[in-house]
Each structure stands twice: as structure tokens, then as C-alpha cells.
Amino acid sequence: MSHTVAHVPPPLHGCVVLVVDATTGVGRRVTSQLCALGAAVAVVGAGHPGRDDDAATNAAFLCKELAGIGLVALPYQADVERPESFGALTGQIAADLGPVTASVVVVPSASGGEELAPAFRVLSGVVAASLPGGAEHIEVDVGHEGFGLEEAAQAVVERLVRLHERWRTPSG
């Protein structure tokens, strides 16, 4: 007797998500979890003043790490000090991975500098405005009191899974 096993795609299969500040903290957790659930993730590292690292290199290393375990993530580059540079990302991502269905922008805490959080909120608005119709935009404010990294990441992922389930379910 032969048994046929139906292939069930991962919950976020077909979902393309842009994650800004994706290489550390909440952003890295969100990126890893989304990839593990089948999403293709556009990874944007975001340089922070006073941090001695290269955001683009960090994004490339994270994508290589995820690809090494069979997950889909591609690195992209934009300049936090030039928010308009984020406006072109959705077009680049659509050409590489498909239309962006959601974006997540992690707004850093005030410890990164007083001007950093407002700058990220501005670029978050640019990203939201550049999304195709029907795409979801989530802004995660890690400076919010009592905001645990793990809980924040899990809340974002759960929200996107619920939304993706609604997108895939035909309306009757």
C-alpha cells in the first residue's frame, strides 16, 4: 500500500519581507524567524553612530549564514542619513525576490543617540510610502519601556503569520 504525504508549505511561503536594522537585536531575531517560516527576507543593516561595524557587511554575513542552512535572505544597502535612499529599495527587492508583502523597521533605543530614533522614524515613513498597495508595514520601537527583544520579535512574526494566512485564504 502506498501512502501519499501532502506537502504543506511553510506558513510564510511566498511572503517577501523587508527588514531594516536586521543584523542585530530584534531585527536579527525577526529576520531569522521569518526565514525559518518560509519568507524571503530583504536584509538591510543600518549603521549606528558610535558602533564600529559596517552595516552592509553585517547584512551580507547574515544572509550567507541563513543561506548556509537553506533559507532565503538577500542583503540590501541604504543610508540612514539619506532616508530617500530607502524609497528605491522596494523596487530593487521586487526585481530580485518578488513584490514586498511586508516591511519591518526597527527603531533603535535612545542609547544609540538622541537623533537616531527620530531618523529611523523618518526612514520608516519613507519605506511605508514606497510599499505596494496592500503591503503591511510594522515599526518596532525598541526604546519602548519594558520591550523585551524576544517578545518583540515574536509579536512581529506572529502578526505577519496571521496576515499572511488571511492573504492566502480566498474570500468567500
- What does the pLDDT read at residue 67? 94
**Which whole number is the average pLDDT over 64-78?**
93
Mean pLDDT computed over 85-105? 93
pLDDT of residue 105: 94
pLDDT higher than 60, residue 17: yes
Flag whether 133 is in a domain. Answer: yes
Which residue segment(s) compose the domain that 68 sits in? 16-142+149-165
- pTM score of the predicted model: 0.87
Residue 79: pLDDT band with limits 50, 70, 90: confident
Does 5 map to a domain?
A: no
- Is there a domain that residue 8 lies in? no
More confident residue, 148 or 86: 86
CATH for 74: 3.40.50.720
pLDDT digits (tens, 9 = 90+) for 31-47: 999 999 999 999 998 76
Tell me, yes or no, whether 11 lies in a domain: no
Please write the tens of the pLDDT for every residue from 100-142: 999 999 988 766 556 788 888 999 999 999 999 999 999 998 7
Number of domains in the chain: 1
| Burial class of 139 by CB neighbour count within 10 A (0 to 12, 13 to 18, 19+) | middle
Q: Is 17 exposed, middle or buried (0-12, 13-18, 19+ CB in 10 A)?
A: buried
Q: Residues 152-168: what's their mean pLDDT? A: 86
Q: Is residue 171 part of a domain?
A: no
Q: Is the pLDDT of residue 144 over 50?
A: yes
Look at residue 9 and tell me if it is in a domain: no
Residue 3 lies in a domain: no
Domain contains 172: no
For residues 67-78, give the mean pLDDT: 92
